[in-house]
Amino acid sequence: MLRQFSWIAFGRLFSAVLQFLTFVLLANKVSPAEFGMVAAVVGAAIVPQSFLDFGISTYIISARAAGGQDARVAFALQLNNRISLVFAFLALIALFLMGIIIDPIFIALCPLAFWAAGEKNADTWLGVAIADGDAHLNLIGLMGRRVLSLLLLLVGFALSFDAPVVYSCAMAIAAFGAACFAQLVVRRRLPTASGGSIRETLSLSRPYWLHSFATQLRNVDAAVVALVGSPAQAGYYSVASRISGPLRLVPTSLASVLLPGVAKEGKISVRTTKLIILTLAGMAVMYGLIVATAPLLIPSLMGAAYTHSVMPVQAMCVGLIFGAAASMFAAILQGLGEQKFVARSSMASSLACIPAIILGTIWLGATGASIGFVSSFLLQTFLFSIKLFQRRQRRKHGRHRG
């Protein structure tokens, strides 16, 4: 488990650095208002990504790790390919219509439709490699698309092409390449004949879908801030919002390994507990350092126009420790068979997140939005902690009766 975690964590951290560089480059080419709209699209795209995934990506990892379900896994992957094509088409139409009705910048962002579909498709297929213990393949796919998108971005900017167009095209081309790589390396691991039906697959993946969709629902945060506040406030908040993803990569990487690991063992081992404690301690130190250095780092990296992003970033980092805990606790509970409880709890906390962001934006602008965002992590961690405690108490009582 530790080896798997190391591969995934390293890959996601390194790719997060590259992704952050692309955002920094883009932020220096456009105004805070334009950056806010781009960030809103990128963040909001994760919601339909998760919705149309139907929990298939997580179900594939769980089913493959459990063993004996290769035909079902193969069918689920084929179904995912069809869903990806539909998603790309619908996203393209949505962006085009937004460009006509709302702002022409959305026309420039149309290639992001293929980025959103391609990235999700690649991650779903590489879930088989994670379940098989070959996390290094996930590392290659993830780092490859980040490096390629950054290189294409640099070339486009050097040629003085329109910044939003360059960014969206670079992301789309890299995602398509990653999807091709994922299918190339995974197809040989699966039987040519698949078994299952759409109804059966969606029934088995439903609990994972509810949790995933509820979790990703938070990614409309920048769009909500733009509507309630202003595009400029969304731009300031987007710095905190975009940085929250990379800062959660270590705990979410561990979570992706915990789920199949706990599912195989059927319990939480002492080694797993120690790993979780060490991860949370390390994350607390990292978040604290960012809080302390944000007044210097943000203006230096993003430019003086983003000085108002300092406090939103600090507020976000203070609350992200609860986000780290929630990710790992959710994976453990899913591995123990509590998928339905995780789904209900995640939906409740995510539904509370949007009103909290709205109230926070009205109250303190971008800083209030950050406070509202992380408050949902606190609620989620509280609910998961209670469930884990209840399971621990039941197990103790069971041993005593025995």
Which pLDDT tens digit goes with each residue over 33-72?
788 888 888 877 877 887 888 889 888 888 887 776 788 8
Estimate the share of the chain in helix, then strand, then coil, as percent rounded to the nearest 5.
90, 0, 10
Tokens of 301: 């990296």
What pLDDT is stored for residue 397 in this prediction? 67
pLDDT tens per residue across all 402 residues of the chain? 566 666 677 777 777 778 878 888 888 888 877 888 888 888 778 778 878 888 898 888 888 877 767 888 889 999 999 999 999 999 999 999 999 998 888 999 999 999 999 999 999 999 888 888 777 887 788 889 999 999 999 999 999 898 999 999 999 999 999 999 999 998 888 876 667 788 888 888 888 888 777 777 777 788 889 889 887 888 889 888 877 777 777 788 778 778 777 877 777 778 888 888 998 999 999 999 999 999 998 888 878 888 899 999 999 999 999 999 999 999 899 888 888 898 889 888 888 999 999 999 999 999 999 999 999 999 999 999 999 988 888 877 665 555
The answer to whether 131 and 61 have CB atoms below 8 angstroms apart is yes
What pLDDT is stored for residue 273 in this prediction? 86
Tokens of 30: 């456009």
| 3-state DSSP assignment of residue 230 | coil
Alpha carbon distance 373, 221 (integer Å): 8
Per-residue model confidence as pLDDT tens digits over 262-292: 877 777 778 888 888 998 999 999 999 999 9
Half-sphere exposure at residue 164, Cβ-oriented, CA atoms within 13 angstroms: 23
Count of helix runs (H) and strand runs (E) in the chain: 15, 0
Alpha carbon distance 144, 115 (integer Å): 14
What pLDDT is stored for residue 371 in this prediction? 94
Alpha carbon distance 288, 283 (integer Å): 8
What pLDDT is stored for residue 402 in this prediction? 53
What pLDDT is stored for residue 113 in this prediction? 94
What pLDDT is stored for residue 116 in this prediction? 93
Backbone φ and ψ for 384, nearest 5 degrees, come out as: -65, -40
Neighbours of 273 (CB within 10 A): 11
Half-sphere exposure at residue 65, Cβ-oriented, CA atoms within 13 angstroms: 24
What pLDDT is stored for residue 142 in this prediction? 85
What pLDDT is stored for residue 401 in this prediction? 55
| 3-state DSSP assignment of residue 197 | coil
Nearest to 266 by CA among 150, 380, 381, 395: 395
